[in-house]
Structure 1
Amino acid sequence: MSDKRKPFPFDEFEPAWQARWDAEKTFRTPNPGDADFDASKPKFYVLDMFPYPSGSGLHVGHPEGYTATDIIGRAKRRQGFNVLHPMGWDSFGLPAEQYAIKTGQHPAITTTQNIATFKRQLKSLGFGYDWDREIATTDPEYVRWTQWIFLQLYSSYFNEEEGKAKPVAELEAKGWTREQIDAVRLAFVHEAPVNWSPDLGTVLANEEVEEWRSKGHIVERRPLRQWMLRITKYAQRLIDELDPLDWPEGIKLLQKNWIGRSEGAEVDFPLDGHTVTVFTTRPDTLFGATYMVLAPEHPYVTEITTAEQKAAVDAYIAACAAKSDLERGDLNKDKSGVFTGAYATNPVNGEKIPVWIADYVMMGYGTGAIMAVPAHDERDFEFAKKFDLPIVQVVQPNGDQDWQGYTDPGTAVNSGFLDGLPTAEAKAKIIDWLESGSKGKRRVQFKLRDWLFSRQRYWGEPFPLTWKDGNHYAVPDAELPLLAPPLEDYKPSGSPEPLLTKAREWVELPDGSIRETNTMPQWAGSCWYYLRYCDPRNSGRFISNEAESYWGGGDKPGMVDLYVGGTEHAVLHLLYARFWHKVLFDLGHVRTTEPFQKLVNQGLILGEDGQKMSKSRGNVVNPDDVVREYGADSLRLYEMFMGPLEQVKPWSMKGVEGVSRFLARVWRVAFEENQAGEWVNSSKIQDVPCSDKALLKVVHETIKKVTDDIAKMSFNTAISQMMVCTNAFTSAEVVPLNEFRALLHVLNPFAPHLTEEIHARLGGSAMLADSEWPKHDEAALVTDEIELVVQVNGKLRDKIVVAKDADQATVESTALNTAKVKEQIDGKTVRKVIVVPGRLVNIVAN
């Protein structure tokens, strides 16, 4: 299209409207306390998931969710709401640091350049963001409050009786020692096995391991001193408080499974002078425990391993150290293990059972030890078959299934005093027996692990902590933000020492203390950004009480009314943000119990080849190219017209072109070209009352459907209805101005540039963006006339329009007197006229 005249001059008016919105701050949202704030209006907080500003900029998959929230935000604003629709940047992260390692350029420079690219692209699409609220996690003032929130966790513990976070000052007042307090802080130090990458110079989350290994980086397992967050204390609340949220059930289930609540018992097994405790959800199967498995990292392994097995055990432990938790767990299909030479005692029958180590058992889950019941556990069964270990049936299936590998409830067999009991009763009886003999106890356990919060890289928030004489201390609030110093180079040393250790003058303080040199993960800033948007320029608090009260107001537990983003954040980001919010709630800093009330996940947009868009596949579509060729409104409209928002959809440039033709039809209803090639007002547009009832009905059907569909986020069907309305205007001999403006009003959130331009050229004074949303007239939807099909001898010959309440004689007369029907029955005798009310007329003639 670039080599010929465009079907409407979007390249002229789109930048002009964007400049006007910027200059007039059209979408600025006042806060409580501002002179123009109207407290009588209801609030609507709509939020896009925080984008990471990469060097490659946006591709056309990114604006899908942004367009959806923009449409809703624009509509809500015109429906009388104070709409908060902000944008900012999750700007710390490993990619910027890797670029710094390669080039020596400070990550801040790279990040600033990337943000500028993203912002330019977003503005070119006409999104109605309040840019006065723009934030970046790397801004010093933002870092200040991220560090302040971390110190809230550091200075708190979880009160088990009240089920909430409380200040550790309460414990100090009770005379607790420092060691006792440090052992219960929500932010604590722990030596944990982690995924360490020597060439990246940092720890990686389990979810990051495969990505960076695929890029050629080394990742190995090793124990390191790490800062952890005690998210496990909130496990039950994180499950229970999901229910009132308007989230997809699949996402709720993912979170619940990730947290992994299970009820069962802890059982103590004597082992060479030690007691090994295992957790099991099926204590009724204890009589079938024929061996035990310890994690290779279990502290007892070196003590219990016999001399004959030492070499094999040591070699196996070394091999396991290089594997991630994912490789050892869900991805581990081939069972492996080594016998330690030791034997434990099964507490229910006194039998000696062999103790193995295997990589599918990990210290981070439960106690790092399991009792293996191969008859009734698939993993244990595979392991037992491979290593020829005993398999003893202790559950009889309720049906005729094979008992080997059977995991469902049944009846206890070969289980001593449990024999004949159904599973539920057997569980209760064995737990009572264990507790009465001090051999175990009831317990609820969660799969969720405490949050490993340390990174060794440079480009992250420094921990606001110092160390002296082996103890850690909080940096005073008045000294925040604590910013990382510049470095001469950003290359990792290959050792686990964090990069910040290179800045000796920064690390070593005059009083002999040293700064913590780990940095926070990228998750830190994205845990609370939705709060800062509410009050981004407040230097006295992370959010004012007034702003938090207003934007978090309402009768729902969640603060953000609508949160839109990809499913890739289904567990970690959403779980972490919920955890931080609950701590802030417990400490009295926020009034809502949850951050996000309604969650919608947009579907992935694939390349034209049907594959996920990526540079390596060469199928990435740059929105700049689409805007240049077809305009921002065409891109916006196509993103919404492709199908339901939640579905996965392939990109199609032909589809963009089709939507562009629709917008051109809207333009040509209003304007026509004169001999000089100039666009002038169409002679069809007339400022007259609408006398065409059918046209009036279509217009008000469109107002009603688009309003309803926006509320339901059914954007594709709303667009279809607006196409129907446009076709009605195109075929009309006269286009009443008021009715055409009604179409512009409802099309405006989808195609804001085009509609504002047409509206202004047709004499509109105020912008559509500032105009009240139209309301449909129910009376206009009432149908006074109906269309009936007319058949002759069963074959369609014509259609007639009659009054809805016309009697049969009138219907018959009208049908018999159309030109087409007369032609068909000429010279024939009409034998019968059959009228099917509301549907058809069939004339029988021969």
Structure 2
Amino acid sequence: MSTTDATHVTASYHPAEVERKWQQRWEEQGINRWTAEELRSAEKPFYNLMMFPYPSAEGLHVGNIYAFTGADIYGRFKRLQGHQVFQPIGFDAFGIHSENFALKQGINPMELIPRNVERFTKQLRRGGLMYDWSHTVDTTHPAYYKWTQWVFLQLYKAGLAEKKEAPVNWCPSCNTVLANEQVVGGLCERCDTPVEMRFLSQWFFKITNYAGRLLENLKTLDWSDTTRKAQENWIGRSEGAELQFPIARPKVADDRHASAEIQAEKPVIRVFTTRPDTVFGATYMVLAPEHPLVAQITTDEQRASVDEYRRQASAQDLVTRKKTDKTKTGVWTGGYAVNPATRQEIPVWIADYVLMEYGTGAIMAVPGHDERDFEFAQAFGLPIVRVVAGEGEDADAPLAEAYTGAGRLVNSGEFDGMEVAESKRVVTEWLAGMGLGEQRINYRLHDWTISRQRYWGPPIPILYCDACGIVPVPEDQLPVELPFIADYKPDASGISPLARHEEWYRTTCPSCGGQARRETDVSDTFLDSAWYFLRYPSTDHDALPFDPQITKKWLPVDSYIGGNEHAVMHLLYARFVTMALHDMGHIHFEEPFTRFRAHGLIVKEGSKMSKSRGNVVVPDEYIADWGADTIRTYLMFLGPYQEGGDFRDSGISGPYNFLSRVWDSVLSSVDRPLEAAVEQKMHATIKKVTEDLEVLSYNTAIAAMMEYLNVVRAGGRTPERAAVEPLVRLVAPFAPHLAEELWERLGHAESIFVEARWPTFDAEKAVADTVEFVVQVNGKVRARMEMARGIAEAEARDAALADEHVQRWIEGKQVRKTIFVPDRLLNLVVG
């Protein structure tokens, strides 16, 4: 008996009509909405999150829909498995991305960005995404950035925020400071403009205080290896030693009793090195041009040359100075330091390839065993001494190039003959005994520059008072609201547009009542996104940033999906802020994202999508023509979700036809027992799809469902209801509107995502009774045969010899050997 009436049987699949109906019903019934009480009482919570978008364009492109859909499928899958899934969405609407778009459009961002948010919202709603729109956040809304400013104040109170002058990356196009992580290949990651170096007074977060924990905790996270590796490399742990090179005042005697005099010499030049074993080969030192000791160590005779070189170096950008392949330049200061190992005076130079932001801003130069030092020594005629020799090498043989391999120490006093690996520790301990060295762990990571000399961001909640100095804005006076200003364009002065508005920045000091001035820089947009996941469940609360009970119930995030371009910046900053808030006692956990997966990228017809190529795919027209369910399924079918795929118009019809066949199969299904072959395939398919969804292998899950449907409809057979009802549940994460409609037509009153549960499988029934054997004759495939699983070699051989396709290749010949791979292959060697 048919499960549907005749009208339904003949009804064809019309995606637009189905999707409009179910999107309206989801909204009316609040299928995806959570109240505060429901969040508190959830018994099996699952926080499913996708990185929220920048509304910095006219709308979402298909690559965005690809990313969001993959996260949504996982959330719907978990919901069908019985989890109570909280899946919010918001907009990372502050920052240079959005402001640059506003500048390009010639519209004030305070007017333009809300329009973009509205446009993005409509597109996301049409995509059939399971978002709780009642818990949306917009980083530009005062109700949100009040708490971003609160986070800043907590870090300030904990001593993790400080203002200092430092060399910074400056984008002359965006007219703002960039964090190191925002410079890619020497270019601004937002606008591809070459970056410069400037010295500015900036606010920094002391993320370096957490370098060790940030690195160590990576071992505990369920993250993809590429993401973990990116963070490991950026944090950059190095084991070595900090050595002290006293500045020579009068000439130090070259004898064994010089150590006391050396220790009395102040000040000293401190260097971090991973090769303390080579200290005997340090023949000169190099300071960064900005090093504070340069002025003190420079002689009167060299001061003019040093000052001119420092001026030239300061005009370069940091990225250019980091290049290792450029011509080495430098100037001698006229001063000397004392090598703590040899007791010899060695000249002190300055050179632009040494940077204050790395190590101590000074290096001991060992030209015999460092390529950069070797090039510099050759350029300026400085001594090159071998202190490490490889197997069979002469200790006194001249070096044609720096030797960086393993070996034993030579020309190193009492340590001669010692292997490099052992000597690193021993030499460090020897110098430590004289008070001139100590073991040290160093990190590549630098403090996070958060000041931005732009308009479009949350004002930093700090005041400056002549009497009181730096004064944090009292928490009960938050938010410090961003005013509407017409002249919001940045300039090359390095001063924020807000500094042009005295009526805004003049205020009263909350400590003494005198005149004060507001900080006119705004904070980096990465601070907005470093804590937003904490706010989502607590958007109902205006009096606190995150409700303690709800936060303990739902956090940390169970599954987080986003772009791997944020593997360093966003994820690292979010981890730091979470750790800091944990240490202050505000939250109970120190890692924000239990599991993270990066999605792949979508290209169009083999090329990266870009406006210049004119190949950006806007999803709206495709959804209008094919339906959101088809586009969702097609995007997931393009390739492995974590790799991406090639969007081609010609491929869309395949997923559409598949969904249409599912529709027709359900509406024409009948109540009768399952055939054995269909039942086996059903259990095998449920097993396959379940396992694939857990690891985000969406393309193979879809392929498995397509294959299953072929079995269900083989030879034009009428499908059983028991065969198609599980299929509706399997397809629901991919095509939720279609699944809802078919679930209702199957006679169910509630939403499939409320009433249904993910289908289960019987592992024994999932195993097919037969397998396909490849039959070869002399190594060439001559037939493919279905045989009983577990068939013995002799029986498989007899079955193959009886097959007419095989017989024609062995006729008149003798089978001399049989090669048998159980349940897979039979090769008959004839002659």
TM class, shorter-length: 0.7 to 0.9
Going from structure 1 to structure 2, the CA distance change for 1:191 and 1:377 (only over 3 Å counts) comes to: same
Maintained 8 Å contact 2:366/2:373? yes
Letter in 1 for 2:766: L
| SS of alignment partner, residue 513 of structure 1 | strand
Identify the residue that residue 15 of structure 1 maps to in structure 2: 20
Single out whichever of 464-473 and 477-486 deviates more from structure 2: 464-473
Identify the residue that residue 203 of structure 1 maps to in structure 2: 177
Distance 1:292 1:785 in 2: 75
Identify the residue that residue 172 of structure 1 maps to in structure 2: none
CA offset digits 1:238-283 (Å, max 9, x no partner): 1112111111233223222222222222222233654221111211
Letter in 1 for 2:628: A
Going from structure 1 to structure 2, the CA distance change for 1:687 and 1:214 (only over 3 Å counts) comes to: closer
Maintained 8 Å contact 1:609/1:619? no
Give the one of 251, 262, 268 matched to 1:275: 268
Give the one of 673, 677, 684 matched to 1:701: 684
Give the one of 730, 736, 756 matched to 1:746: 730
Identify the residue that residue 115 of structure 2 maps to in structure 1: 113
Deviation of 1:842 (Å): 12
Going from structure 1 to structure 2, the CA distance change for 1:317 and 1:840 (only over 3 Å counts) comes to: closer
CA offset digits 1:669-723 (Å, max 9, x no partner): 34xxxxxxxxxx43xx212222x11112112211121112111221111111101
Identify the residue that residue 727 of structure 1 maps to in structure 2: 710
Identify the residue that residue 758 of structure 2 maps to in structure 1: 773
Q: TM-score, normalised to structure 2's length?
A: 0.86
Maintained 8 Å contact 1:561/1:598? yes
| SS of alignment partner, residue 323 of structure 1 | coil
Going from structure 1 to structure 2, the CA distance change for 1:381 and 1:619 (only over 3 Å counts) comes to: farther
Maintained 8 Å contact 1:744/1:759? yes
Identify the residue that residue 410 of structure 1 maps to in structure 2: 407
Maintained 8 Å contact 1:808/1:835? no
Residue 191 (structure 1) aligned with residue 188 (structure 2): no
CA offset digits 1:787-817 (Å, max 9, x no partner): 889999999799678899999999999998x
Deviation of 1:123 (Å): 1.6
Maintained 8 Å contact 2:102/2:108? yes
Maintained 8 Å contact 1:526/1:573? yes
Identify the residue that residue 643 of structure 1 maps to in structure 2: 639
Deviation of 1:520 (Å): 0.6
Going from structure 1 to structure 2, the CA distance change for 1:247 and 1:839 (only over 3 Å counts) comes to: closer
Residue 291 (structure 1) aligned with residue 276 (structure 2): no
Residue 513 (structure 1) aligned with residue 510 (structure 2): no
Maintained 8 Å contact 2:174/2:191? no
CA offset digits 1:408-444 (Å, max 9, x no partner): 4431111112211222432233223322323233322
1:88-107 alignment, distance < 5 Å: 88-101=90-103, 105-107=107-109
Give the one of 756, 759, 769 matched to 2:740: 756
Identify the residue that residue 525 of structure 2 maps to in structure 1: 522
| SS of alignment partner, residue 221 of structure 1 | strand
Deviation of 1:623 (Å): 1.6
Distance 1:492 1:27 in 2: 42
Going from structure 1 to structure 2, the CA distance change for 1:777 and 1:487 (only over 3 Å counts) comes to: same
Identify the residue that residue 86 of structure 2 maps to in structure 1: 84
Identify the residue that residue 452 of structure 1 maps to in structure 2: 449
Distance 1:790 1:433 in 2: 72
Letter in 1 for 2:168: V
Give the one of 203, 208, 212 matched to 1:232: 208
Identify the residue that residue 256 of structure 2 maps to in structure 1: none
Deviation of 1:120 (Å): 1.6
Deviation of 1:140 (Å): 0.9
Distance 1:254 1:792 in 2: 50
Going from structure 1 to structure 2, the CA distance change for 1:398 and 1:751 (only over 3 Å counts) comes to: farther
Deviation of 1:189 (Å): 1.4
Identify the residue that residue 68 of structure 2 maps to in structure 1: 66
Give the one of 11, 29, 32 matched to 1:27: 32
Letter in 2 for 1:47: L
Unpaired stretches in structure 2, ≥5 consecutive residues: 1-10, 250-266, 509-513
Residue 664 (structure 1) aligned with residue 660 (structure 2): yes
Distance 2:572 2:819 in 1: 63
Identify the residue that residue 262 of structure 2 maps to in structure 1: none
Give the one of 342, 351, 369 matched to 1:358: 351
Letter in 2 for 1:123: R
Letter in 2 for 1:271: I
Over the aligned positions, Cα root-mean-square deviation in angstroms equals 3.7
Letter in 1 for 2:539: P
Distance 1:812 1:200 in 2: 77
| SS of alignment partner, residue 47 of structure 2 | strand
Identify the residue that residue 475 of structure 2 maps to in structure 1: 477
Identify the residue that residue 173 of structure 1 maps to in structure 2: none
Aligned length: 782
Give the one of 495, 504, 507 matched to 2:502: 504
Maintained 8 Å contact 2:169/2:178? yes
Q: TM-score, normalised to structure 1's length?
A: 0.84
Distance 1:791 1:302 in 2: 83
Identify the residue that residue 648 of structure 2 maps to in structure 1: 652
Maintained 8 Å contact 2:453/2:490? no
Give the one of 615, 619, 622 matched to 1:619: 615
Deviation of 1:127 (Å): 1.0
Maintained 8 Å contact 2:429/2:437? no
Going from structure 1 to structure 2, the CA distance change for 1:778 and 1:519 (only over 3 Å counts) comes to: same
Deviation of 1:197 (Å): 4.4
Deviation of 1:153 (Å): 0.8
1:552-563 alignment, distance < 5 Å: 552=555, 559-563=556-560
| SS of alignment partner, residue 618 of structure 1 | coil
Single out whichever of 494-503 and 312-321 deviates more from structure 2: 312-321
Letter in 2 for 1:141: A
Maintained 8 Å contact 1:88/1:136? yes
Maintained 8 Å contact 1:151/1:474? yes
Distance 1:835 1:267 in 2: 68
CA offset digits 1:133-189 (Å, max 9, x no partner): 110111111111111111111111xxxxxxxxxxxxxxxxxxxxxxxxxxxx21111
Residue 380 (structure 1) aligned with residue 373 (structure 2): yes
Identical-residue share of aligned pairs (%) = 44
Deviation of 1:214 (Å): 9.2
Give the one of 689, 693, 701 matched to 1:718: 701
Deviation of 1:124 (Å): 1.6
Deviation of 1:450 (Å): 1.4
Letter in 1 for 2:474: P
1:562-641 alignment, distance < 5 Å: 562-610=559-607, 612-641=608-637
Give the one of 700, 720, 727 matched to 1:736: 720
Distance 1:551 1:593 in 2: 14
Going from structure 1 to structure 2, the CA distance change for 1:599 and 1:733 (only over 3 Å counts) comes to: same
Distance 1:332 1:789 in 2: 57
